[in-house]
Structure 1
Amino acid sequence: MDIKALDKALAELTKRKEELAAVDYNNPKYDEMEDALHDLEDDFQEQFGAKLEEILQDVHDEFCSDNDVLMPVAYLGKGVVVDADDYPGKDTKLVLAANPPRIILTVGQEKQETIWTAK
């Protein structure tokens, strides 16, 4: 997997998601921005999806075995809520982030742990 390309794609997707979130749904540009984001997500899934899903499966097996693996783009931004085995009853999420490409386990506001980094 081309880590530089992955990092660039993650950064661009994150930027576009943030831009869309900042635009009101009634804004005339909203639909255009949303369509562009979906196209980027489709390209990302096609290029990196299979490998990232394998990695996410390993992460799920180790940290949150009761949760299903979702498409990698679901983990961008705010992340995916999971039931972390080591933190029962806590608000835990898995987040896919850039710079460098990594997966972060967040536990509420008090803890963030990088549990996978692209190499």
Structure 2
Amino acid sequence: MNIQELDKELLSLFEKRIALSQMGYDHRDYDDVEEALHDLEDDFNDKYGDFLENILQEIHKEYCPESDVLLPTAYLARSFKETSDGGIEVGADAGVEVELEENPIASARLILLPSPTRIVLVVGKKKKIVWSADAE
């Protein structure tokens, strides 16, 4: 697996999602950008879906076995900011909500982020990188 190419395509997909989120439905280019985004998502899932789904299955098995594994693009955050302390800041509804085995009532989400490609488990205000392409 070419991790650099994966990250490049994930970042491109991410940027297209951000561009769409900044447009109103009445924007003249909204439909074209939305269609381009769906094409990018389909291509990304076709190319990297099996690889990322295997990783997500392992993460789900360890942290949230009662939650279904979805397509990798479902785990993408709509936007994120890196903080000055090296952390990340994402919206409250980013990624996919999961039920943690160790604490089923906790508010938990799995989020796929680019640069470097990584999957982050967010529980309340705590964030933990549970997989990183850097480790591959």
For the criterion TM > 0.5, the same-fold answer is yes
Structure 1: 4+ residue segments shifted above 2 A: none
Shift of 1:14: 1.0
Question: Does residue 14 of structure 1 match 2:14?
Answer: yes
Count of residues paired in the alignment: 118
CA distance in 2, matches of 1:3, 1:84: 28
Question: Does residue 116 of structure 1 match 2:131?
Answer: yes
Paired residue type of 2:118 = R
- What is the root-mean-square deviation in Å for CA atoms of aligned residues? 0.9
CA distance in 2, matches of 1:72, 1:107: 19
1:81-116 deviations in Å (ceiling 9; x for gaps)? 1111233312110001111111100012x2000001
Name 1:80's counterpart in structure 2: 96
Question: Does residue 95 of structure 1 match 2:111?
Answer: yes
- Quote the sequence identity (%): 44
Shift of 1:4: 0.1
Name 2:64's counterpart in structure 1: 64
Name 1:39's counterpart in structure 2: 39
Q: Which has the higher contact order (CA 8 A, sep 6+)?
A: 1
Shift of 1:71: 0.3
Structure 1 runs not aligned, ≥5 long: none
Paired residue type of 1:2 = N
Paired residue type of 1:116 = W
TM-score, length of structure 2 as denominator length:
0.83
TM-score, length of structure 1 as denominator length:
0.95
CA distance in 1, matches of 2:31, 2:116: 30
CA distance in 2, matches of 1:58, 1:37: 28
Shift of 1:9: 1.0
